[in-house]
Structure 1
Amino acid sequence: MKHEIIEKNVGLMGVLIALVISVAGMAEIVPLMFQAQTTQPSKGVVPYPAVELAGRDVYVKEGCYNCHSQMIRPFADESLRYGPPSLAGESVYDRPHQWGSKRTGPDLARVGGRYTDEWHLLHLINPRDLVPESNMPGFPWLQDKLVDGDLITTKMKTLRWLGHPYSDDQINQAAKQVSGVTEMEALIAYLQFLGVANNGRAQK
């Protein structure tokens, strides 16, 4: 009888559904906020340097995440193609993270160092010059726009306030480091930075 009352009262049912989802969500999410594996960086993972941080902004601005994920799932076929599965500690300095499983293009979590800078440049200008079957659009205009040094400096200050361990020197040198750097160069630097800790190469 009580069950019938709930089913026939749309408002009450909606409130109870929202309550159940909220409690279940908190039970799953809140513990993760206090686990070291999700809040502490994995070995070798450091905050993005100025140029790479600028490149990440270009990556997000151009919507690259719509077709490329940065999360390798723990399945044999993914590990064989992309490398070891992604860890939560690899993404502690990503705001927002670039996870996901929808891939029009390949996962990029371990793409750093897999190709040369020249390969990335040609691929970003016109992907079909290197991969004839690619349906990825070209981004030649990124060569014509420079990175905004003041914006990157401000962003690094904000990220430090949020807990990223940027030093005063890193912040003070940010504008100088990105001076004269095009968005194309920054994007390539970002791509070359992805997964380097897990590929055994030293971070910058």
Structure 2
Amino acid sequence: MTIALHTWNTPNGRKISVALEEMELPYMVKTVNISKGEQHAPEFLRISPNNRIPAIVDPNGPDGQPISVFESGAILLYLGEKTGRFLPASLRERVPVLEWLMWQMGGFGPMPGQVHHFRLVEAESDRRYGLKRYSDETRRLYGVLDRRLAEVEYVAGALSVADFAILGWAWRHERHQVSLDDFPNVKRWYEALFARPGVQRGFDVKLDDA
């Protein structure tokens, strides 16, 4: 049975399309045009109470019953549990996956997202202050990631949902005004992931109305 992915062409949306492709799960895309406010529609609110994409509806959820899941991190954990892929069964091996997934959700997403925002602010004084504040923090986070990837091939050791989560945001590094040449370990990891057919399919699938 096919999972419905309610999404738009954003870093958080791409996390899930990549995961679904890598896990080889059948899914259909239902676009939610956030530029037109479709995320506030009552029918979307029923599956995503926070009015944010992405969300999924799995008709074959636990015990064979339908389930909806919102928040991209929760979706990745759900899909990992469902398939038994990219989410280790061993608690010791699972801990770094959870650590780096939470790192992405709490920092490497909200901070680059503020860079996106302040680049578009019209007032020069507001833009300059906000852009410096969040650009500095974003570069710090890239540095954290670079140091981690100097030690391991993927962020949690083996390829995991944490990599998919972080990749969704690293994909927008140019918007963050960050050159991956400044972070060679991130660049190696980024290029290795994009060499994977599943990741390529996850980024190629159409997630908007254009």
- Shorter-chain TM-score: what band? under 0.3
- Structure with higher Rg: it is 1
Q: TM-score, normalised by structure 2?
A: 0.25
TM-score norm. by structure 1 comes to 0.26
Q: Which has the higher strand share?
A: 2
